[in-house]
Amino acid sequence: MVIGTMKIKIHVPWSHSLKEKRMVVKSICTKVRNKYNVSVAEVEEQDIHQIIVLGLACVGNEASHADSIMDHVLNFIEDNAEADIIRVEREIV
């Protein structure tokens, strides 16, 4: 069993309130969960309205499969969010 984890830091320059930020977080999390069947949640910086930090976890039988899922999720977020990805941290155990 292989576990893949990823932390994605996203900058949302147009967000001027926590309400706007939460709309973005909820939308991204729901779309990613439904499309890729992974666990995803906001894990840090909950009180800063222009920064989103998402934690993601997936389970697979091979490291290449977990890595592929994380690549697809990252590309999906880049294409569908009106935001800039600042940093990505990955780990496969």
CATH T-level topology, domain 2-92? Alpha-Beta Plaits (3.30.70)
How do residues 40-61 score in pLDDT, each as one tens digit? Answer: 999 988 888 899 999 999 998 8
Q: 9 pairs with which residues across the strands?
A: 53, 87
Give the percent of the chain with pLDDT over 90.
Answer: 63
Q: Closest Cα to residue 86, out of 60, 55, 44, 51? A: 51
User: Looking at the predicted structure, is the pLDDT value of residue 1 above 90?
Assistant: no
Residue 3: predicted pLDDT: 93
The answer to whether the CB of 9 falls within 8 A of the CB of 85 is: yes
Averaged pLDDT for residues 3-31: 92
Residue 83: predicted pLDDT: 85
Measured between alpha carbons, how far is residue 25 from residues 1, 20, 28, 50 in Å? 29, 9, 5, 11
| Global pTM value | 0.86
